[in-house]
Amino acid sequence: ITEFLPNPEDSDRDNEFIEIYNAGETDANLDGWTLEDKMGRVKVFEIIERVDIKSGGYKVFYSDETKIALNNSGDGVVLKNDKGKIMDETPVSDSAKEDQAYALNENGNWVWTLRPTAGRKNIIKEEEVSEIEQDEHIPKNPPNPLLERGNSQERNNNSDGAGDSKQDGSSQEIEANDDSGAEVVEYDFSDEIIISEIYPNPTGRNNRDGNYEWVELYNCSLRDVNLIGWQIDDILKKGSKLYTIKENKIISARSHLVFTNEEIKVIFNNSGDEVNLLWADGTVVDNARYGKSIEGQSYNWVNNGWVWSRIITPGKINTVGKILSAKSVVSLYNEDEVEIDESDADVEENFAGDIEYVKATVAEAKELPRFSDVKISGVVSTSPGIFSDNIFYIAGSGIQIYSKKVDISEINIGDEIEVAGQISEVGGEKRILLSKAENIKIISRDNLVEPKIISTADIGKAIEGCLVTVEGEIVEIKDDVFFLDDGSGRVKIYIKPRTGIEKTKIEINKRAVITGQVSRTSAGYRILPRFQADLKFGRVSGTAVSFASSTYLAGQEGEKNILFSEGVNFVIYAIMMLAGVLILIDWGRMKAARSKK
């Protein structure tokens, strides 16, 4: 057990997690193993399906699957094998602060970290005692990066490649000295610095007469970072000599910095090579590998992947220094050679700050890589306060908007809004982080919100974040979760406790029509009903179509709409019956008159 999160930021019970790591040399099968907590009402979760963890791999179990409720006042976790033998257990923690994980550090000690890292190597970022808030990662006993490179310096390539989650980091004072004197150097350990472009094969003779190879870094964070002590290398412990930045070198927030061969003397092979960026303690923070290079082309990090392009942009964003429309950004780098139409440039300056936002549809925004700055518009399908005070959803292609810093309590279902923020991800689900009040504005109110009509088999990435309606039979019930099946496959319906939705009518083999947001966690996709009116039981006339066409401006109003609709249907039915009776009476009178004649 390497990490657990008892108190997620949005206070959702389903987002608590327990992380397991396989430190063995072979893959491990956890079939029949159990997890349980230690404090309060102990819950035992048995892994009843085959779960393999590769050697050196992680497996994360979320609470919507385990039903283990980790106590915020302090808790621990026990892992047992299929024979009931305790394989590992954690100590009992002290009280948990919101969104802090209890994690195992490199010294084998359990500590609180401000950086939950579900499914990957732990990053220990502890709260600072000083008055100045530090949003930083402080390594334990870091080696002196200014010493000569040698066998004593252990360097661990723990990067999964460029494009891993990059969060903000911080500084740490390291004594760069011997016993005869002391020199204190402060080093930054931000992990939001990424390799963004590599130019390994300039046209003509390389590394002469100003024709240098170079590597470009980009600072994804909103703060300046000092790169003193950082290191740049090609293949670790092979190839070129490691380059260490020995003087203050600032990479500004949301800016690029280029290092040429003239300065760093690192040679990138034309036949294929790699670039490694290391912290001052020797930890690899980012790396990139490329195959055979193309003369005169650079290797670019764009759209969550690496591609070759003959558009060389040292010190600029990898789209000729301009933000194009999201459609262009997504499609531009599907080919090695492209032409850019300058008229397609769409630099936005409507929002505060110097950040340039990609103007996108919701569907395009969902395809952009993490840390992309994006601006979208749409109609709100789930307002703040339903699932969480910090979350609401945009309809249409559907995406989650998250904000902890901005008051979004006045946002209502049916509001058409324009919002700018940064692409992020939680539990595999894309979201947009809203950090400034001026980056959201209401365009209009009381717009129609219609869900998509889907089958139970349609649940997946294509409709992640969408408002949907599905009809089927209830085939399984587990606490706040039940499963619906229309014959094409099962879909999970999860009722969040804070919605207050009553579950008394949820019964096995009962027909139901459910409307809700499609959400994703590491355990898979599910539909989240918003309020009572999103659940309708029994076979619905006209199937889901008639139900889905209702507009929900609020929970109670949605129920009133349904009641009103049913009342109108009753009145129409009564009028039709009365008309039938009148026709019969009139027909009887006509028959009587004819018989008299």
DSSP string, 311-324: ---TTS-TTTTS-B
Residue 265's pLDDT band (cuts 50, 70, 90):
very high
Tokens representing 315? 């010190």
pLDDT of residue 77: 96
Confidence of residue 52 (pLDDT cuts 50, 70, 90): confident
Q: Is the pLDDT of residue 148 over 60?
A: no
Cα 515–chain centre separation: 23
Is pLDDT at 553 greater than 60 in this prediction? no
Distance CA 467, CA 455 (A): 13
- Rounded to an integer, the average pLDDT of 344-372 is 65
- Tell which residue, 91, 112, 89, 110, has the closest CA to residue 101: 112
What distance in Å separates the CA atoms of residue 323 and residue 342, rounded to the nearest whole number? 11
* pLDDT greater than 60 at residue 260: yes
Higher pLDDT, 489 or 538: 489
**82 DSSP 8-state letter:** T
Band (pLDDT 50/70/90 cuts) for residue 117 is: confident
**Are the CB atoms for 500 and 487 separated by under 8 Å?**
no
Q: Provide the pairing of β-strand 193-199 with 298-302.
A: antiparallel
Helix ranges (H only) for 444-554 are 543-548
Mean pLDDT of the chain: 77
Out of 101-110, 352-361, 412-421, 537-546, which region has the weakest mean confidence (pLDDT)?
A: 537-546
More confident residue, 300 or 302: 300
For residue 485, the cross-strand partners are 473, 490
CB contact at 8 A, 193 and 226: no
Does the pLDDT at position 134 exceed 90?
no
Higher pLDDT, residue 445 or 13: 445
C-alpha span between 247 and 252 (Å, rounded): 16
pLDDT recorded at residue 154: 32
Residue 159 pLDDT more than 50? Answer: no
Of the candidates 114, 92, 112, the residue with the CA atom closest to the CA atom of residue 103: 112
Secondary structure, 3-state, 112-158: EECCCCCCCCCCCCCCCCCCCCCCCCCCCCCCCCCCCCCCCCCCCCC
Residue 53: which of 77, 33, 78 has the closest Cα? 33
Query: How large is the average pLDDT for residues 229-254?
Result: 91
Q: Indicate the Cα dihedral angle 368, 369, 371, 374, nearest 10°.
A: 0
State the Cα–Cα distance between residues 420 and 399, nearest whole angstrom: 13
Tally helices (H) and strands (E) across the chain. 6, 38
pTM given for the model: 0.46
pLDDT at position 146 is 27
pLDDT of residue 230: 95
Are 380 and 395 contacting, i.e. CB atoms less than 8 angstroms apart?
A: yes
Higher-confidence residue: 156 or 511?
511
pLDDT in tens, 187-233: 888 878 999 999 999 988 887 777 899 999 999 888 899 999 999 99
Q: How far apart are CA 288 and CA 189, in angstroms?
A: 19
Encoded amino acid at 163, one letter? G
| CA pair distance 140, 358, nearest whole angstrom | 39
Residue 185 scores a pLDDT above 50: yes
Please list the residues that pair with 301 across neighbouring strands. 306
Q: How many CA atoms lie within 13 A of 479 on its CB side?
A: 11
Q: Give DSSP secondary structure letters for 147-189.
A: SPP-TTS--------TTS------EEEEE---TT---EEEEE-
Q: What angle do CA 578, 580, 583 make, to 5 degrees?
A: 110
How many other CB atoms sit within 10 Å of the CB of residue 578? 10
